[in-house]
Amino acid sequence: MKFAYYPGCSARSTCAELNEATHLVAAKLGLELIQLESATCTGARELRAIDPVGFYTLNVRILALAESHGLPLMTICNTCTLNVLDAHAAFVSDREFAVSINARLAEEGLHYSGRTRISHFLWVLHENIGEQRLRELVVNPLTDLTVAAFYGCHITRPPLQYGFIDSRNNIALEKLAEVLGCQPIDYSGRNECCGFHTAAHDERVAIKLTGQHILSAKAGGAQAMVTPCPLCHTVLDGFQREIEKDVGQKLDMPILHLPQLVGLALGLSPDELNIDRHMVPAGALKAYAAGAAKGSRR
């Protein structure tokens, strides 16, 4: 199975471990990823407000790059996913607009026909690999590991668009965690927002919001949280020291990128998955993985 792969900016800078883990896990899963090297940023949430034409052009260009390989597009960041989905929708709904964007893309010999299928890694796991195949590939079931699934916003909302159901009813991450052997816990933060998109100019909103979610995950008994989005990861993990100060207690909640959790179950070691590159030390998880290797849990 082959995908055009768009890692986005975070996974190539602050969350480089996510990109590396995705490549390692893809190899285990038999996914061939063609990384789109010349793809630009999708504009985060900022660009659409000040330069909508630039925003749509950058995103349609990414879809056109995938099309030039004749491949579906795989993303690993929620906000990037919604940006390309929004751009695709704008492109196919307005013919005049589509023609004008293609004229811009023609300058470098690219063309978008509106047919690139967009899929986040979480969706690829369910839809292309499938639960059954995943179960066969799990060599190190993460038995007894309690995880809190943190979805983030942009791969479950806006509601009732792009095939989304009521985000509060989506259980794709919990289902996946179960397949990997984990015990997903229920907690109030699962569909909530990490506040990343205002953090560049004011970190307080992100710190306050995310503090509630980590506390609720902790109260629910989670040993780790897992997220399909590097932006959520940046807040949950990167700001955790500041969050601890704000809530007035030590949290020590390891935050895993989705491919890292999958990788652990597929037999990759915490070191290979670069869990130490996170801001929150994942000692507990490493001890867990070491125990798993010795088979002490079974």
Nearer to another protein, 120 or 257 (CB): 120
Around Cβ 40, how many Cβ atoms within 10 Å?
Answer: 13
Minimum separation from the CB atom of position 208 to another protein (A): 5
From CA 11, how far away is CA 33, in angstroms rounded?
15
Minimum separation from the CB atom of position 127 to another protein (A): 6
E strands of the chain, at which residues?
A: 2-6, 32-35, 73-75, 118-120, 146-149, 183-184, 224-227, 255-257
Minimum separation from the CB atom of position 39 to another protein (A): 6
Minimum separation from the CB atom of position 37 to another protein (A): 4
Chain centroid to Cα 97, Å, comes to 30
Nearer to another protein, 25 or 153 (CB): 153
* DSSP code per residue over 68-95: HTT--EEE--HHHHHHHHHHHHHHHH-H
Nearer to another protein, 40 or 249 (CB): 40
Nearer to another protein, 152 or 263 (CB): 152
- In a 3-state reduction of DSSP, which class is residue 255? strand
Nearer to another protein, 123 or 269 (CB): 123
Minimum separation from the CB atom of position 8 to another protein (A): 8
Q: What's the distance, Cα to Cα, between the start and end of the chain in Å?
A: 33
Which residues, including other chains, have CB under 8 Å from residue 194's CB and lie 6 or more apart?
150, 152, 206, 209, 210, 213, 231, 232, 235, 236
